[in-house]
A and B are shown apart, each in its own frame.
Chain A
Amino acid sequence: MKNIAFIFLGLFFSFQVFAQKDTDTVISNNPQKLKVKLLYFHITNRCNTCRSIEAAVRKTIDENFKTELDSGIIDLYILNCELPENKTISEKYQAYGATLAVTKVVGVKEKTDDLTNFAFAKIHDEKVFVSELKSKIQELLK
């Protein structure tokens, strides 16, 4: 009986860890070609708005920058900032909660724009969100 309890407990924690890791996405195909990094951080307990922002970010990339993503010109990071393994990158981008950032990469130099306020202000209209995020990325790709 005790063993069964331990097994269930073990399984429960495993599911928790896998469930959290499942949310992380890192697409980085060619660091040599890299021009723009798009990063979205979130916490473990997420609200609908936070999930909508992630969906709209993915949509922006899928519909407009698929080629750039595949060729490595754009990197996409969707990370849980509360996971220990993401601590360094989260601190680098000052992401302690839901955070949307876009970074222009020139050689080893990075210039980051924080788009979190934009994201929360515009997410109620996904069309506008996608269109404006697309424009921002296009500007950085020039």
Chain B
Amino acid sequence: MLRKSAIILFVVFVTTLLLTGCGSSGKSDKTNNDSTQQVNAVSDSISGNNDSITSPVSTTKNDTLKVNNTSASNTKIAKPKVEVYYFHGANRCVSCIAIEDATKKTLNTYFKNELAKGTIKFKIINVEEDANKAISEKYQAFGSALFVTQIFNGKETKTDLTGDGFKYAKNKEEKFIEILKNKISEYLK
């Protein structure tokens, strides 16, 4: 009788232990979800205080990027996910001006929010100015050149759209805008 009670007690104890384990797991998941939401919520107000994003490290691609951005820059400004650089020389031709105009049009039409939030950064750079020497050399831009760069996990992935710019921007602007829009959208994912 005593032995039977001991066995029952043991079974109850083991079952309780197992159930508690499942519960922790569930709780852990919930915590992770909460962390993700927290990162998302903070990142929504990314222009505010980014120092508050410290511990939560989400497993999702975007959230990881946001956390890394904050820790890497260690400033109040979040690092953008996409950088668009347009390089030009001092003497500019019609195609060169058309590329700049179409790039601005693309960004203002389709990525206004991302520009405002700082997720996208757009820079127009005169390669002939000394102050721009380093960035121009980094991109091997010696005249007109258009680059879209994705920054993810501290890694940069560049796409050179200069040829597409010269090919389409002046006489087939809609085609160029489509190419640029698609590339930026791809890099924002």
Contacts and interface: CB of A to CB of B under 8 A. Distances in A.
Interface of A: 43, 45-50, 81-82, 94-100, 114-121, 124
Contacts of B171: 43, 81-82, 96-97
A94 B162 CA distance: 16
Interface stretch (B28-36, B108-116, B142-150): B142-150
Contact of A98 (B142, B167, B175): B167
A50 B95 contact: yes
Nearest to B172: A96
Nearest to A49: B143
Given A45-B93, A46-B93, A114 B163 contact: yes
A121 to B, nearest CB: 6
A43 B94 contact: yes
A99 B167 contact: yes
A45 B92 CA distance: 11
B170 interface: yes
Given A49-B144, A97-B172, A98-B166, 13 more contacts: A45-B94, A45-B95, A96-B168, A97-B95, A97-B167, A99-B167, A114-B167, A115-B163, A116-B163, A116-B167, A117-B164, A120-B162, A120-B163
B162 A121 contact: yes
What size tier do the contact residues of chain B reach? 20 to 34
Interface in B117-171: 140, 142-145, 160-164, 166-171
Given A49-B144, A120-B145, A43 B170 contact: yes
Given A47-B144, A49-B143, A116-B163, A96 B170 contact: yes
A38 B162 CA distance: 20
7 residue pairs, one from A and one from B, having the closest CB atoms: A117-B163, A47-B93, A116-B163, A96-B172, A96-B171, A124-B142, A120-B162
B77 to A, nearest CB: 31
A46 B166 CA distance: 11
B138 to A, nearest CB: 14
B96 interface: yes
A50 B172 contact: no
A97 B93 contact: no
Contacts of B91: 47-48
A106 to B, nearest CB: 25
A117 B161 contact: yes
Contacts of B93: 45-47, 50
Interface centre among A45, A98, A115 (most CB of B within 10 A): A98
B166 to A, nearest CB: 4
Contacts of A46: 93
Contacts of B166: 50, 97-99, 116, 120
